[in-house]
Amino acid sequence: MKRFFAFQMILSLFILLIIVGCAAKSVSPPSQATLQTRNLEPSPGKALVYYYNHKRFLGSTTVSLDEMSSEVKKDFYVMWEVEPGEHHLKFTHKQAIFVEKVKLDITCEADQIYYFHMLGSDKETHKIDPVDNETGQANIEQFRLESWFKDGALQQ
C-alpha cells in the first residue's frame, strides 16, 4: 500500500512538472526589429498599420494588407508602412480543408498610426476591429514583431 501511494505521488509530481513546463512562456529578449517597430513614427506622408494577434488558432493564420501578406501567430504583430488612401486588410485562417477569411476595408491618412485586432470567438462572430492608439500601443509593447513591410517590401 505504501509503495502504491509513493508511486502515485511521484507520478502526480511528474505530471505537474510537465504541465508547468508546457505552460511556461519563452523569456528570450525581443529582437532589434521588434524594439524598433514598437514606437516607430510613420515616414512623412505615410501611415503605419499594425495588426496584432492575441488569439490562438489551430492551423495556420495569415494577415495581409493589400497583397503584402504574413503569417501571424498568437502574441505577434505585423506592421505595414503605406501610402494614404484605401487599403484592404484580410485575415485568413486555414485548418485542414476549412478556410476562414475576415476582411475589412480601411482608409489611412498621412502621418497616422492605426491598430487592428480580431474580435469574436468563432467564425460566425469574428471581425477585424480598429483599436484606439493608446490601447493598440500598449498591446504592441507586449507582443513581438512577425513581419514588417515598408515601401511594399518585407523588411524582416
Give the model confidence (pLDDT) of 69-108 as tens digits.
999 999 999 999 999 999 999 999 998 889 999 999 999 9
pLDDT for residue 15? 73
Of 133 and 123, more confident: 133
40-50: average pLDDT: 95
How many CA atoms lie less than 13 Å away from 37 in the CB half-sphere?
Answer: 31
Q: How confident is the model at residue 10 (pLDDT cuts 50, 70, 90)?
A: confident
Mean per-residue pLDDT of the chain: 87
pLDDT for residue 27? 65
Of 16 and 154, more confident: 154
- Which H or E run includes 142? helix 133-142
Of 8 and 113, more confident: 113
Neighbours of 67 (CB within 10 A): 8
| Residue 148 near residue 79 (C-beta atoms within 8 A) | yes
